[in-house]
Structure 1
Amino acid sequence: MSRPRILCISFSDIRSDARVLRQLDVLTRYGDVTTLSYGSRPEGAVDHLEIDRRLPSLPQTPTGVARLALRRFRSVALDAPAVKEAVSLLGDREFDVVVANEARALPLAFAVAGSPKVWCDLHEWAPAERTHVLSWRLLVAPFMHWVCAQYLPRTDAVTTINVSIANMYAEQFGVHPEIVRNARPFVPELSPSPAAEGLTRLVHSGGAVPGRNIEAIIEAVDQLGEGYSLDLFLIPSRQGDSYWQKLVEQIERSPRTTLHPPVAPDDLPAALNPYDLGIFLLPPHTPNHRLMLPNKFFDFVQARLGMVYGTSAETDRLITEHGLGVVTRGYTAEDLVEALRAMTPAQVQGYKRAADRIAEQMSSDADIATEEGILRRLTERDDPARRIP
């Protein structure tokens, strides 16, 4: 019997998208996977359909914006430039299962030939992805709410990153997502790095995206002065060239900050391990920020780092419960300086040991079991039920 045909859709470059890479590793055990995304073919995919990275995944053309303003959502569901290209690339290919990464991929998933089962992995609370941006809040947020209301109740499986966000989907859209955190595999070979005499080594990794407040981290290490260093492993934003240039200029002016090339997701814990404290200072611009449980939390744990986070419900709870670090009072450089100056070297090493103690518990084993359960259900060949798009 032939293996199930699985299509994995992600409007990202999967090769640098840690969550989708982990998902892909599970998908390949249950079928032959075709990926549809920006960037070239990720390892494990038997086929790949590459979307031109210059094409936006939302209907940002003049016609699309006008239709969004008029709330003609059905007419723009497949109208975004990247989605149009994806439809053309797919043609009449048929699949048994389609995985839609994030709600914006749902209209495309339901347009795929072959009446496939659809699993939607919601990386965050979709209706508020970028509501700190006025145009997004006025035009795109209502569209994303419509997409969720229109498609989520018709999906065969739904997952999201934590209980807080799952409850919001249940309350507003009547679906009950299973939880797949952003945890990564356990890295047994790492242990806390020894302290460096007279130096606290700070590190931040992730996308260099406007709103991530990386500028405040750089400003804080400059205010702290001797005894502190900051290393950045950043992925430039696909659409953020001007922001990236400004950030690089700030880094070049900072005597204590070093910029490194981005590191492959699988290599990140080892790259971060020599440092002491992972820093993340994200202001709560959106519900997703207030309820975040990001990749980097789990990156820091597997790297055996202590951590300093801006306050956020999910991370506050875990940091406090496990003694992993400190939560800042606010999100400014001054708030970060205050938190770091209050730490002793002994406390920093204690936070790193705490991360070591819970590294296996905080690994992706539970998430993989959830994904495998979904795929077993969706790839059963003796189930004749099919949805009508």
Structure 2
Amino acid sequence: MKRIIVSVTNDLSTDQRVDKVCNTLHNNNFNVLLIGRKLPNSFKLDRKYNTKRINLLFNTGFLFYAEYNFRIFFLLLFSKKDILLSNDLDTLLANFLVGKIQRKKLVYDSHELFTESPELINKPFVKYVWLKLENLILPKLENCYTVCKSIADFYNKKHKTNFKVVRNLPVKKTIKKGKISFSTKTKKIIIYQGSLNIGRGLELMINVMKHLNNHIFIIIGSGDVYEDLKNKTTKENLNDKVKFLGKLTPKELHKITPLADLGISLEENLGLNYRYALPNKIFDYIQAEVPVLVSNLPEMKRVIIDYKVGEIINDRAPKKLANQIKKILERDFSSELKKAKEKLVWEKEEPKLLSVFENC
């Protein structure tokens, strides 16, 4: 049985993609160890495979990335393994060095265009360092995959690599509806789930709620702009229309998502990372049979065009977007959603994932 060590920089609690990958590998006779970091608010884990969380002195900025890669370099170096699986650029250096030193197979999963993320827009030196690392290592990789065709095409053209596509689709589930702690009465529920970072269209949606009188907007997740969004909601006197549920476990989220009438993914075109994004929340909405409203960006709108499970945003002006939301909520997408949810599941992606590891 081959032993795989998987590394990420998050705390493992809510990373559904990595959990699905690890479960697939475990179910196909790989011995899996997943390594992440420990945070004060980290949820307790109950996984079929082995996990390890590292306590760090630094949790943000350069010192965090430097400490984490330093720590996992030695952890990987002195651990038994056959294959290394690195997730995203921020874990790649340690994995690459150990792979070279000990001649171990390295697999790379790129969840996004890391160097094109909006967080790096105003940090040219930091972006320069990450680009140098990417340009140095990616052309040397043999076994790699990513979340969508646009990102795969980008890397393959730029670095002459052979990135395959393994979409971040949800595991097939039966719908189980939970309860929300506050009353929604007869209001239509609009939901956002995911990271609360710049460029996600959340400030826009709070402005849109001024023009929607029989609707409630639920925000699930945590991130850099969490407090800013809460402050904006209070400042605009929208606390009765905008509710924050914080970070939920995937199990909790699975029961909340089906309560919604509309799921949104309104990322802004802030660089190629967002332009080529294919957020897993879109597929989570579909699996919960919730219609979707998405940005007019290549990967997102392709889902809407191919499966007819919602609409593409027409105009980002708050009042016009509010009118589009009212109209979309009058439409019935139930038939299309039922068809799409049977096709857009992780079980369809597993053979693609396993084909990558056949080379190892």
TM-score (norm: length of structure 2): 0.86
- After the TM superposition, which residues 37-48 of structure 1 pair with which residues of structure 2 at under 5 Å, given as runs? 37-39=36-38, 42=45, 43-48=47-52
Amino acid in the other structure paired with 1:220: V
Q: CA deviation at 1:309?
A: 1.3
1:228 corresponding residue in structure 2 = 215
Q: CA deviation at 1:273?
A: 0.5
Q: CA deviation at 1:60?
A: 5.4
Amino acid in the other structure paired with 2:349: D
Matched, 1:33 2:32: yes
**What is the distance in 1 between the residues matched to 2:111 and 2:127?**
16
**2:86–2:106 Cα contact (<8 Å) kept:** yes
Q: CA deviation at 1:199?
A: 3.5
**What is the distance in 2 between the residues matched to 1:341 and 1:47?**
45
Q: CA deviation at 1:302?
A: 0.5
Matched, 1:24 2:22: yes
**What is the distance in 1 between the residues matched to 2:310 and 2:9?**
34
Gap regions ≥5 residues in structure 2:
178-183
Q: CA deviation at 1:131?
A: 6.3
**What is the distance in 2 between the residues matched to 1:198 and 1:49?**
43
Go from structure 1 to structure 2 and tell me whether the alpha carbon gap of 1:190 and 1:26 turns closer, same or farther (over 3 Å shift).
same
Q: CA deviation at 1:145?
A: 2.9
Q: CA deviation at 1:169?
A: 0.7
1:141 corresponding residue in structure 2 = 127
**What is the distance in 2 between the residues matched to 1:312 and 1:94?**
43
Matched, 1:371 2:353: yes
Amino acid in the other structure paired with 1:46: N
Matched, 1:250 2:232: yes
**1:6–1:32 Cα contact (<8 Å) kept:** yes
Matched, 1:341 2:326: yes
**What is the distance in 2 between the residues matched to 1:266 and 1:31?**
25
Q: CA deviation at 1:248?
A: 2.2
**What is the distance in 2 between the residues matched to 1:197 and 1:189?**
21
Q: CA deviation at 1:91?
A: 5.1
**2:262–2:329 Cα contact (<8 Å) kept:** no
**2:119–2:198 Cα contact (<8 Å) kept:** no
Decide which of 167, 181, 184 is 1:181's aligned counterpart: 167
1:110 corresponding residue in structure 2 = 96
How many equivalent residue pairs? Answer: 343
Go from structure 1 to structure 2 and tell me whether the alpha carbon gap of 1:265 and 1:207 turns closer, same or farther (over 3 Å shift).
same
Go from structure 1 to structure 2 and tell me whether the alpha carbon gap of 1:335 and 1:161 turns closer, same or farther (over 3 Å shift).
farther
**2:189–2:217 Cα contact (<8 Å) kept:** yes
Matched, 1:55 2:51: no
2:181 corresponding residue in structure 1 = none
* Secondary structure at the counterpart of residue 336 of structure 1: helix
Q: CA deviation at 1:261?
A: 3.8
2:110 corresponding residue in structure 1 = 122
1:270 corresponding residue in structure 2 = 255
CA deviation map 1:224-277 (0-9, x unaligned): 12x21212222x22xx3xx32232233453121222243222443332101110
**2:144–2:356 Cα contact (<8 Å) kept:** no
**What is the distance in 1 between the residues matched to 2:251 and 2:21?**
13
Gap regions ≥5 residues in structure 1:
62-78, 379-389
**1:304–1:353 Cα contact (<8 Å) kept:** no
Amino acid in the other structure paired with 1:31: F
Go from structure 1 to structure 2 and tell me whether the alpha carbon gap of 1:131 and 1:257 turns closer, same or farther (over 3 Å shift).
closer
1:83 corresponding residue in structure 2 = 69
Go from structure 1 to structure 2 and tell me whether the alpha carbon gap of 1:328 and 1:132 turns closer, same or farther (over 3 Å shift).
farther
**What is the distance in 1 between the residues matched to 2:15 and 2:313?**
28
Go from structure 1 to structure 2 and tell me whether the alpha carbon gap of 1:229 and 1:55 turns closer, same or farther (over 3 Å shift).
closer
Decide which of 123, 141, 145 is 1:155's aligned counterpart: 141
Alignment identity in percent? 18
1:66 corresponding residue in structure 2 = none
Decide which of 12, 19, 35 is 2:10's aligned counterpart: 12
Amino acid in the other structure paired with 2:218: D
CA deviation map 1:273-326 (0-9, x unaligned): 011100121111011211111111111110100111121111112212322111
CA deviation map 1:93-137 (0-9, x unaligned): 2421010001222211122263221100011123312366221xx
Report the more deviating stretch, 85-94 or 9-18: 85-94
**What is the distance in 1 between the residues matched to 2:247 and 2:337?**
23
**2:175–2:255 Cα contact (<8 Å) kept:** no
* Secondary structure at the counterpart of residue 118 of structure 2: coil
